[in-house]
Structure 1
Amino acid sequence: MRTLLLFGDSNTHGTLPVRALGQSGRFAREDRWSTRLARLLPGWEVIAEGHPGRTTLHDDPVEGAHRNGLTVLPALLESHRPADVVLLMLGTNDLKERFSVNAGDIALSLERLVRVILASGCGPEGGAPGVLLVAPPPIEEVGCLAGMFAGGAAKSRALAAEVQEAAGRLGVPFLDAGKVVQVSPIDGIHYGPEANPALAEAFAAAIHQHFPG
C-alpha cells in the first residue's frame, strides 16, 4: 500500500466556515475531502496533516510559532516515512495582513517546502517522495476574517500563476484548486460542503494521472 501525505492548513483539516472569531467547527470525518479522497484511492493510505492557521514558513506572532509549516514538515515526513507522495496545499494563511508578503513570495516559500520534501530521503527506499503542488483558491475579504486578511484578496488572484511557475521550476505536477472550488461567502477563506466531493475527485484524478501504478 502506498502512502499519500496531505500537508495543509484548515482547509485540509476540514474546518467549517466561521461566522465569528473563535469558532472551530469541523466537517464530520466521513464528509471531509480527505476522507472522500481515501475512498477514491484504494491501495493508498491517505494521511491528513492539516493544521488551522498553518503558514508556509512564517512564525505567526499572534497565533503562535507552531503554525510554521517549514518547522514541522521534516518531523512529519519522518514520522510517516516512507511517503510515496505529498500533496502540498498551503499559502492561504500567508495572505494575512500581518505577514506582508506578495504572491511571488508565497510561491517561493512553497518552492522551499517542496525542496525540503524532495531532499528528505523520506520516500520509498530512502528516495524522494513525489509532490503534487496545489495552489489554493482565491480568497474574499468578507465576514469576521476580512480584517485579518485585508489586502489578501487581490494578492490571492495572482497566486495560482506564481505557484504554477514554481512547480515548473521544480519539475513537479501542479493543480489549481481555484478551478475546482470557491471559498465560502460566509468567511471568504474556508470551503463549503460542496467543495469536499469536488476536491476529492480532482485530487484523485491528479494522483492517478501523475503517480500511476
Structure 2
Amino acid sequence: MQQILVYADSLSWGIIPDTRGRLPFEQRWPGVCEIALRNAGQDVRVLENCLNGRRTVWSDPFKDGRDGSEGLAQVMEIHAPLRMVVLMLGNNDFQCTHDNNAWLSAQGTAKLIDIIRQAPIEPGMPVPEILVIAPPAIVRPKGAIAHKFQDAEQRWPGLKEALCEVASGRQCHFMDAGAVTDASRVDGIHLDADQHEKLGLAVADFLQKRL
C-alpha cells in the first residue's frame, strides 16, 4: 500500500464555510481523492494532517501549534514510509496578524519542503515525493472570519506564481487548485462541498499519473 500524507489547513480539514462544522471524509477533498484512486485500482491510503489556522512557518498569537514547521519532522517519522506528501498551505499566512506578501508565504512552504526531506525517517525508507498545491485565490472574506482576513485578498496575489517557482526550484510537483475551483462562495476563503469534489478528483487524476 502506498501512503499519501496531506499536510494542510482548514481548506483540507473540510470546515463547512461560516460554521464550525466539518464535512465527512468522503466529501472533503482528501477523501474524494482516496476513493477515486482506489476506484482506479490504486492501493493507496490518504493520511490527513490538517489543522485549522495552520500557517507555513508563523505562530498564531491566540492559538498554540499553528506554526506548520513545528513538529513536521516528527509527523514524517510517525507516518513513514510515505510515497507522497501533499502541501496545501498559505492562506493563513495572510491573516491580519501577519504583514506577509506572496513571496514570504512561499518561502515558508520552501522551509517545509526542506524539513520533509531532512526528516529523520528510519534507514532504508524512501524520502517521499512532494506535491505543492497552491490554494484557490482568496476573494473578499465574508462572514465570521472576515475580521481575521481583513485585506487578505489584496496581499494574496502572486502566491500561485511564487509557489510554482519554489516547487520548480526544489524539484517538487506543482498544482494550481485555482485552475480547478474558486474559493468558497460563502466566505471567500474555504471550499464548499462541490468544490471539494472537484479538487479531490483533480488531485486524484494528477496523482494517478505519477504513482
1:195 alignment partner AA: Q
RMSD: 1.5
Distance 1:150 1:123 in 2: 44
Q: SS in structure 2 opposite 1:125?
A: coil
* Cα deviation 1:23-80 (Å, max 9, x = unaligned): 4111123211111111112211110111111111111102x23111100211211110
* 8 Å CA contact 1:83, 1:122 repeated in 2: no
The residue correspondences of 1:142-157 to structure 2 (distance < 5 A) are 142-157=142-157
* Cα deviation 1:171-204 (Å, max 9, x = unaligned): 1110011111111132111111111221111111
CA-CA distance at 1:142 after TM superposition: 2.2
The residue number in structure 1 matching 2:195 is 195
The residue number in structure 2 matching 1:27 is 23
* 8 Å CA contact 1:132, 1:174 repeated in 2: yes
The residue number in structure 2 matching 1:207 is 207
* 8 Å CA contact 2:73, 2:120 repeated in 1: no
Identical residues among aligned pairs (%): 30
The change in CA–CA distance for 1:127 and 1:94 in structure 2 (over 3 A counts) is: same
Q: SS in structure 2 opposite 1:116?
A: helix
Distance 2:123 2:31 in 1: 23
CA-CA distance at 1:123 after TM superposition: 8.4
* Cα deviation 1:62-105 (Å, max 9, x = unaligned): 2x231111002112111101111000000011110111111000
Q: SS in structure 2 opposite 1:55?
A: coil
The residue correspondences of 1:27-46 to structure 2 (distance < 5 A) are 27-42=23-38, 43-46=43-46
Please report the TM-score for the alignment, with normalisation by the length of structure 1: 0.91
CA-CA distance at 1:144 after TM superposition: 2.5
Distance 2:205 2:53 in 1: 27
Where in structure 1 are there 5+ consecutive unaligned residues? none
Distance 2:206 2:115 in 1: 22
Larger helix fraction of residues = 1
* 8 Å CA contact 1:104, 1:162 repeated in 2: yes
Distance 1:122 1:133 in 2: 21
